[in-house]
C-alpha cells in the first residue's frame, strides 16, 4: 500500500459518511426523529476522523511533499480552501445542534448543513481523487509513497482511531432512520 492508497481508502470511508449525512438530512426534513446521539456521532466522525486525521495527513504531509516539487500548488491551495469550507460547515452543524439541545427549534438548520456537508464531500472527494491520479502519474516516486505510508502507519493511536471511526460508520448504517426507504 502507498500513502495515496491509504488516502483513497479513507475516501471510501468518507463516502459512507457522505451518504449518512445526506440520509440524516432527508429524514430530519421529513420530520423523522433522529436521535441527538446519532447526529453527535456524525459530528465526532467529522471532527476526529475527517478533520484531525484525514485532512491532517493531507495538509501536514501529503500536500507539502507534492508541493516540494514546485508543482500542483494551485490545486493544493484550492483543496485546502475547500477543507476550510468543510470545517466551517461542520461547525455550523455543531452550533445548530447545541442550540437545538437548548430548546431552540433548529432542526431545519441542522438538516440543511448536514446536506451542505454531504454535497461538499461528494464534490471535494471527486476533486481529490483526480488530484491523486495526477500525483501518482507525474509527481511522487514509489519510494516517497511508501515512506509516507510508513509514517502514517507508525502513529498507532491514529490507526486505532480510524478503526474506531469505521465501527461508528458501521453502526450508523444500521440505524432505522438510515435504513428507511
User: In Å, how far are 74, 119, 128, 151 from 135, measured between CA atoms?
Assistant: 13, 24, 10, 19
Q: pLDDT, tens digit, for every residue of 121-149?
A: 999 999 999 999 999 999 988 888 898 88
Percent of the chain at pLDDT > 70 equals 99
What CATH number is given to the structural domain containing 10?
1.20.120.520
Q: Which of 77, 178, 180, 51 is closest to 131 using CA atoms?
A: 77
pLDDT number for residue 102: 97
Mean pLDDT of 12-38: 98
Confidence band for 159, pLDDT divided at 50, 70 and 90? confident
d(CA 155, CA 128): 23
C-alpha cell belonging to residue 90: 461542520
pLDDT number for residue 155: 74
Cα-atom radius of gyration of the chain, to the nearest Å?
17
Instruction: Tell me if 23 sits within 8 A of 177, measured CB to CB.
Output: yes
Q: How many domains does the chain have?
A: 1
pTM: 0.94
Q: In which domain, by residue range, is 160 found?
A: 3-179
Indicate whether 156 pLDDT > 70. no
Q: pLDDT, tens digit, for every residue of 3-19?
A: 999 999 999 999 999 99
Q: pLDDT, tens digit, for every residue of 69-118?
A: 998 999 999 999 999 999 999 999 999 999 999 999 999 999 999 999 99
d(CA 156, CA 149): 13
Amino acid at each position: 500500500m502507498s500513502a495515496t492508497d491509504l488516502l483513497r481508502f479513507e475516501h471510501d470511508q468518507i463516502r459512507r459518511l457522505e451518504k449518512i449525512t445526506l440520509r440524516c438530512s432527508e429524514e430530519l426534513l421529513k420530520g423523522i426523529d433522529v436521535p441527538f446521539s446519532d447526529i453527535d456521532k456524525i459530528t465526532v466522525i467529522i471532527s476526529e476522523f475527517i478533520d484531525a486525521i484525514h485532512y491532517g495527513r493531507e495538509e501536514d504531509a501529503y500536500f507539502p511533499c507534492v508541493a516540494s516539487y514546485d508543482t500542483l500548488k494551485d490545486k493544493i491551495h484550492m483543496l485546502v480552501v475547500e477543507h476550510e469550507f468543510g470545517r466551517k460547515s461542520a461547525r455550523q452543524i455543531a452550533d445548530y445542534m447545541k442550540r437545538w439541545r437548548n430548546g431552540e427549534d433548529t432542526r431545519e438548520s441542522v438538516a440543511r448543513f448536514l446536506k451542505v456537508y454531504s454535497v461538499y464531500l461528494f464534490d471535494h472527494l471527486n476533486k481529490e481523487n483526480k488530484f491523486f491520479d495526477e500525483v501518482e502519474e507525474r509527481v511522487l516516486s514509489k519510494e516517497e509513497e511508501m515512506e509516507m505510508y510508513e509514517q502514517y502507519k507508525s502513529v498507532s493511536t491514529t490507526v486505532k482511531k480510524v478503526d474506531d471511526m469505521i465501527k461508528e460508520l458501521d453502526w450508523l448504517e444500521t440505524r432505522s432512520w438510515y435504513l428507511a426507504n
